[in-house]
Structure 1
Amino acid sequence: DDSGFLQHNPKARDYDKDPIILKNYEYLYQKLLMVFSLFIGGVFAIIVNFDWKASGAVDYSVKDSIYMILFLSFLSLFIILPELIDYKKERPTIRLKNNQIEFYEKDKIAYVEQCENLQHNMDWSFFIGNFKGKRGLLYMFMAVLLCLVFMTIDLVVARWFLSFALFQFVGNILVKFIFCLVLGKSGDRRFSLFPALRVGEPHYGHIGLFACSRYYLIPIFRNSIYFELKEYFLARHNININDVDKIYF
């Protein structure tokens, strides 16, 4: 009971009257993390494994390299700009209240996550999605099995696959670092391999190419926000987000 809680803790913050309000980068973060991880993985797998000398590409000039960089930059903007435009239009925010977390779009409630089973719905994810428990083990098993299959087919194919996986991992970290630089402030940046806190079950938004879930993640790239959320979850739900599971797959 909130009234009882506040009576016993008169100095406690009433989050219904004074909620934590955050800009919601959930969808933008997931989309760019997915697209650029695949993009960087694919590009660098080609650079490392392609036989440039045999193809004659080793004779490409600096001018050709500049054209390639410009093309990749244009492609990156082509991916980023629609997401930035959507973000500006929707103005998504998150409001954390006493017993619920509200997701807003265009200043209207889009979804409400009740905090009844919050302790069982929280984790820090390295990748996007929810690959916890048996599902995570299944994905790991499938990845190892796929690698073994490639190795039995052809070592060259296996090398392509492994280099793609490695550079996709590097791309994942790079995207998080860029988010940290852009969204963080000087002296208040928080870089982590696990920057997004899951607070509920995923719900799919509009379906399309590289569709991502919504209304379940809180990306955190500032220490001030991290400590404010830590205080909230500890005071209201007796959950220390430092102790929440980290999900690698």
Structure 2
Amino acid sequence: MNEARLEELKKILNERRQNLEQGSQENSDAQNFDVLNFNTSKSDTSNSNASNFDASDLNNKNSKALNSNDKNSDGPNLNAERGRKFQNLDPDNATLFKNSKTRDYDKEPIIIKNYEKFFVYARLFIILPTSGLPLFLIRDIIDFGYINTYEYLLSCMALLLIAVITYIFTVIRNKREIRFTDQYIEFLDKGVVKRQCKVEEEVLRRNFSTENFRTSSFIVLVVLCVGSLGLFLVALIFMYITNMLLKLIVYFYINHSLKGFKIFPFIKVARPGYGKYLYNAVAISAHYYLIYLYSSEIYNEVKEYFLQKNINIDYIKKDYTVFI
């Protein structure tokens, strides 16, 4: 075989070998490319799944947390709503609540001091003489043309002393009390029940003083005013003024303040009681029928007592008097 033929065969073999090497290289690159693509797609897919999973997870958690917070915030509203529904379903609920606050006055009675005797005595020993002073003042001016101030000063001091003595013996040294129970208002003297008055709305009165104003008394008043040329009317006006001033002074002495002072501080709960004998049947013997509300606290406490009996003492009838 000649050398030209050998060179040609070598050339052909070299070309085939190069082609084979090139083909194997391309196959290897293709495989590597596929592997890379597979890994990349897998990684992207896993990353995508992971991100989707995390996002959905976070959304689920957030939504759960928000729902939980909403439930917690709605808790009081739901409880309030349930409470309203429960109240609507239970019509006696308000009544039961009210009854639960009701005070048992048999177990916890109200006990207050009784000033009745002082004010009954005061109208004869203090108010009547004081209201008569202006009449003597007018007489002196008309008859003598001057006023003896020394005499009136002594008279005022004497009346003041009488008022102090009356207060000591009828209030300070007197152990009279009034007790409010469920059924009765009881008047006690040294712890002994002297009179029981049943609470009756038609009997209750708010008194300006300590007696009733009657038609017969009004007729007597008119006759006296006409007969005395108006002097008795002057005395009557000063009776009311003195009456009010006495209440004001006593109230201030007890409370050291005028807060809660009322012109009508008395509640009459029954007809006046008198002694068995004729000499007891006079004005100063009236007893065990009058309540003096001597402070705003006592007034509110007694008012609550009557409210539990469906009586508002602010609106009960008022009695005025002629002779104090």
Deviations 1:89-120 (A, max 9, x none): 431111100011111111221221122xx111
Instruction: Give the match for residue 211 of structure 2.
Output: 129
**How is 1:134-173 mapped onto 2 (pairs within 5 angstroms)?**
136-148=214-226, 150=227, 157-173=228-244
Give the residue type in structure 2 aligned to 1:229: V
Instruction: Give the match for residue 261 of structure 2.
Output: 191
Question: Are 1:21 and 2:93 matched, yes or no?
Answer: no
Normalising by structure 1, we get a TM-score of 0.79
Normalising by structure 2, we get a TM-score of 0.62
Deviations 1:54-99 (A, max 9, x none): 53755x5xxxx34642353134423541452243343111110001
Gaps of 5+ in 1: 151-156
Q: Secondary structure at the match of 1:179?
A: helix
Change (3 A) 1:191 1:77: same
Q: Secondary structure at the match of 2:280?
A: coil
Q: Deviation at 1:23?
A: 0.6
Counterpart contact for 2:208–2:264, Cα < 8 Å: yes
Number of aligned residue pairs: give it. 224
Larger helix share, 1 or 2:
2
Over the matched positions of the two proteins, sequence identity in percent amounts to 30
Larger strand share, 1 or 2:
1
Q: Distance in 1 between matches of 2:272 and 2:162?
A: 27
Change (3 A) 1:170 1:104: same
Q: Secondary structure at the match of 2:105?
A: coil
Q: Distance in 2 between matches of 1:26 and 1:86?
A: 9
Counterpart contact for 1:127–1:248, Cα < 8 Å: yes
Give the residue type in structure 1 aligned to 2:261: F
Instruction: Give the match for residue 302 of structure 2.
Output: 229
Instruction: Give the match for residue 120 of structure 1.
Output: 202
Q: Deviation at 1:183?
A: 2.0
Q: 1:245 aligns with which of 317, 320, 323?
A: 317
Gaps of 5+ in 2: 1-94
Change (3 A) 1:27 1:6: farther
Moved over 6 A (4+): 5-8
Instruction: Give the match for residue 50 of structure 1.
Output: 139
Deviations 1:179-238 (A, max 9, x none): 22112243x733222110111121025838751411111111311111111110011x21
Which segment is superposed worse, 199-208 or 173-182?
199-208
Question: Are 1:35 and 2:125 matched, yes or no?
Answer: yes
Counterpart contact for 1:45–1:167, Cα < 8 Å: no
Give the residue type in structure 2 aligned to 1:128: T
